[in-house]
Chains A and B, each alone.
Chain A
Amino acid sequence: MKSEFTPTGQPDSDRRDFLKYILGGGLLAWLAAVLYPVMAYLKPPKQGEVEVTSVKAGKASAIEKDSGVIVRFGSKPVILVRNAAGEFRAFSATCTHLDCTVQYRKDMGLIWCACHNGRYDLNGRNVAGPPPRPLDEYRVVVQGDEISISKKV
């Protein structure tokens, strides 16, 4: 891109050299300023890949019967429960008492909150302990082997 068409003439050689230095130096600096970010960008970041977040919650065959798993739904946690009959239900995993994250307790057969012993049945209804409201339900759709969770019923 730099023009090779140097014209004839007898300019001041000092000024010409100085300008050529600035121009050349500036060009190199500019190249560095452009190439440095590009090179850094091309270097793979520590966390190799994007993390799967919630909306597609993985494979149905990967979740056992009578178990529950926490899945991230944007900025909120959602608990995906598979009951003994093999059906999927999903609820907000934020306890309605003081916002702790609930878990599935196989021994109790219900959703439990570790903070103050709040309990919810498998319909999300608060059945014991301090929670004042049931858990919001999310919609679960199983297509083939893919589980897809979407906003409230």
Chain B
Amino acid sequence: MKTLWSNIYDWVDERVELGGLVEYMGKKYVPVNRHSIWYYFGGVSLFLFIIQVVTGILLLLYYKSGEQLAFESIQFIMSKVQFGWLIRSIHSWTANLFILTAMIHMFSVFFAKAYRKPREVTWFTGMLMFFLLLGFGFSGYLLPWNELAFFATKVGTDIAGAVPVVGKPMMVFLRGGEDVTGATLSRFFGFHVAVLPGIFTVLLSIHLLLVQRQGMSELISHEQIPPAERKTMPFFPNFLLRDLLFWLVVLNLLAILAVFFPWELGKKADAFASAPSGIKPEWYFLFMFQTLKYIPGKILFFDGEVLGILLFGLGGLLWLMVPFWDRKSSRGETNRFINYIGIFVVFYILVLTIVGWIL
């Protein structure tokens, strides 16, 4: 076995000169402290992305886009295709877990202020990927063309349409028309399997390249310890093997979820039926949806809903731009204020998601 591997290595090395690369990668290390656990979440997100791509491609082989066949093709996959139930449920569960781990990854980066110089672009690509991720979730949700998805899309695109000036054309663009129809389904399918993956892959490549080039960011507190006394472990092979172990457990978790909590299909969408009562979006949109519910109809002379949407937009923008307005972290100083903001946001999202779920 060893000789086979070394033979392959030598063959490639003769053509591409791996030596320098291998040496460089060998120098990459990961800080070891009580916060090291958070370092895993980037990798798990990557793993889940790979799962999505693989299961997504497999689903593509049997899914039929278009009003009359979308629902039935999912039914077909769930009942007639061998292990179709497994692939589909894993794809749906992974989507949710992916968004969860991405959020954890984002928040841990935020609290560690790893977005500070020199990693601003890493942060931007990461945040953009996160927004794309929400787009993945929203577009993919419609593809089974079931009742819940139909109405969720209706409500969601309605909210998008409420943005002043650009809202209406944006809504028509998203829907492929004035209403949610088969045209919407076609568009969302195109977004979900071509447009978003394309852009996402580009961003991901930049993101990973930067992480490899710049190495793992260290906590500001960690940086203040003299280099000789900092505890670290090599990325290759130690951290990587640990990563793989974690990924293995996550894979098992997905299999268990797929078997015991198969993803539902529900009823086929019917444009002429009335919306089922208590309709609400998927959990990752819930906190925004719930917030909009609580905003009064009119604030001064502004429409409450529009104000809410704009506020969220503004919040998102500020969040995105944090490397620029958090000057202290760039200088290497602890910034408690960022921590407070972060804690507030986490709590807000948690509480409103729970409230939205229960009510």
Contact = CB atoms under 8 A, between A and B. Distances in A.
Q: Would A and B touch once assembled, by the CB under 8 A criterion? A: yes
Given A3-B240, A37-B86, A41-B87, A55 B58 contact: no
Main secondary structure of the interface of A (DSSP, over half): loop
Max chain A CB contacts within 10 Å: which of B58, B64, B80, B248?
A: B80
Contacts of A108: none
Interface string A38-56: 1011110111011111011
Nearest to A48: B80
A151 B273 contact: yes
B256 to A, nearest CB: 14
Contact of A41 (B9, B67, B75, B81): B81
Contacts of B272: 139, 150-151
B244 interface: yes
A50 B58 contact: no
A129 B168 CA distance: 56
Contacts, number: 66
A4 interface: yes
Given A3-B241, A50-B76, A151-B273, A37 B83 contact: yes
Interface string A1-29: 10111100000000000000000100000
Contact of A50 (B6, B61, B69, B273): B69
A139 B8 CA distance: 67
A52 B165 CA distance: 42
- Counting chain A residues whose Cβ lies within 8 A of the other chain, the interface size class is 20 to 34
B5 A40 contact: no
B290 interface: no
Given A1-B240, A37-B82, A50-B72, 18 more contacts: A3-B236, A24-B1, A30-B248, A37-B87, A41-B58, A41-B84, A41-B86, A42-B58, A45-B80, A47-B76, A50-B75, A52-B68, A52-B69, A55-B68, A55-B268, A74-B267, A150-B270, A151-B272
Interface of B: 1-2, 5-6, 9, 26, 58, 61, 64, 67-69, 72-73, 75-76, 80-84, 86-87, 236-237, 240-241, 244, 248, 267-268, 270-273
Interface of A: 1, 3-6, 24, 30, 37-38, 40-43, 45-47, 49-53, 55-56, 74, 139, 150-151
